Amino acid sequence: MISESIPQIPADQQTVKPCRRRFLDEFKRDAVRLITEQQYAFQAASRIPGRFR
């Protein structure tokens, strides 16, 4: 059988592929506005509470 030749990975070593984050268009517009109009650095804009949720 083919399945017997494939080694099993122990449960504690298995990894789960992280889900890709999705952002609403409103969020994207707000982020661009902070960076372009208010001269925020990308890192500074990303630290504003509630802005990137």
Report pTM: 0.50
Q: Is the pLDDT of residue 6 over 80?
A: no
Q: Is the pLDDT of residue 30 over 80?
A: yes
- Output DSSP code: residue 30: H
Domain boundaries, the chain: 18-53
Which residue would you say has higher pLDDT here, 5 or 31? 31
**Contact assessment for residue 51 and residue 34, using Cβ atoms and an 8 Å cutoff:** yes
